Structure 1
Amino acid sequence: MPVTNVAHDIDSRTLTITAEFAAPPSRLWQVYADPRQLEKIWGPPTHPATVVDHDFAPGGRVTYYMTSPEGEKFGGYWQIESLDEPHGFVFDDGFADENLTPVDSLPVSKNSYRFDEKDGKTVATYVSSYASAEDLQKVLDMGVVEGASGAINQIDDFLAG
């Protein structure tokens, strides 16, 4: 399993997931930069993603929805802040309605994804920061740890396939 550590800190309002992949950072970068590859790993295995828009550039927006086994769709978006190819990127991640319009009543996280080479592999550090402890607790209660870990744990098999 690629995920090696999961930690959340209510005081600093952060969730940090660390994972290790048997591929160089440039290959992991491609997974996020290509919408068709992103669909294979974004969202837990039970809720596959469909990327609708993919403007993977500073100031750009990525919109997507995940589909439950019952067919229910859950929308989301990324607002890209910065890219540091192939070492990572920074973006806001929020919830969206059925029209992929942001839902202001749900938390938005500031995310920093970092990909560092180590012994021919990639150590990825995924940090999500929230505006309040209540926002972090809300997504923890919604299952963000299980969902994000399940999604990240798909990456090695995707890269090997």
Structure 2
Amino acid sequence: MTVVSSQTDPEALTLTFVAEFDANVERVWQIWEDPRQLERWWGPPTWPATFDRHDFVPGGRSKYYMTGPDGEKARGWWVTTAIRSPEHLEFDDGFADDDGEPTGELGVTHAVVTLEQVEAGTRMTVFSTFETAEQLQKMMDMGMEEGMREAMGQIDSLLAEARA
């Protein structure tokens, strides 16, 4: 089923996605935990992600880049701030330089991911909080909402491979 809803709240400085998948919570958790699976869906199809580092522990750092259709690279980083396997993950996310280090460009986004068992499988909620209204607007202008919808749209086929 994938993305059920997305909601931007400019007053609260948040962007929320709700998606549902035909897989159990433990299986959906793996798409966050395993960098090879994460990179198969983290970027939209035209901007696939590559994770050079993914330390999936509290305080762990992740470094990645997304490659555009013309070969340009957009680099990013995460710091995992909380993990409660297999249903809760929090991380800070931002833009990075060529070495994968934070640039401070457009500030930091804090993401909270929750996975819950529902009748049809797993409901995943990704709740992102921005520092300022300007940051949220710039991210929207860059296509973050559409890009996340496209990215999450790749998860069903990834989960289906494991069942095949």
When normalised by structure 2's length, the TM-score is 0.95
Instruction: Report the identity percentage.
Output: 46
The answer on whether the counterparts of 1:43 and 1:148 sit within 8 Å (CA) in structure 2 is yes
SS at match of 1:70: coil
C-alpha separation in 1, matches of 2:60 and 2:127: 20
1:111 corresponds in structure 2 to: 111
Matches within 5 A, 1:64-143: 64-143=64-143
SS at match of 1:103: coil
1:14 corresponds in structure 2 to: 14
Deviations 1:33-58 (A, max 9, x none): 01111111110011111100111000
Unaligned runs of 5+ in 1: none
The answer on whether the counterparts of 1:67 and 1:73 sit within 8 Å (CA) in structure 2 is yes
SS at match of 1:101: coil
C-alpha separation in 1, matches of 2:107 and 2:150: 21
SS at match of 1:31: helix
Deviations 1:60-84 (A, max 9, x none): 0111000011111110011100001
Q: CA deviation at 1:120?
A: 4.8
Shifted more, 94-103 versus 83-92: the winner is 94-103
In angstroms, what is the RMSD of aligned CA positions? 0.9
C-alpha separation in 1, matches of 2:155 and 2:149: 10
Q: CA deviation at 1:105?
A: 2.4
1:29 corresponds in structure 2 to: 29
The answer on whether the counterparts of 2:92 and 2:109 sit within 8 Å (CA) in structure 1 is yes
SS at match of 2:148: helix
When normalised by structure 1's length, the TM-score is 0.97
Unaligned runs of 5+ in 2: none
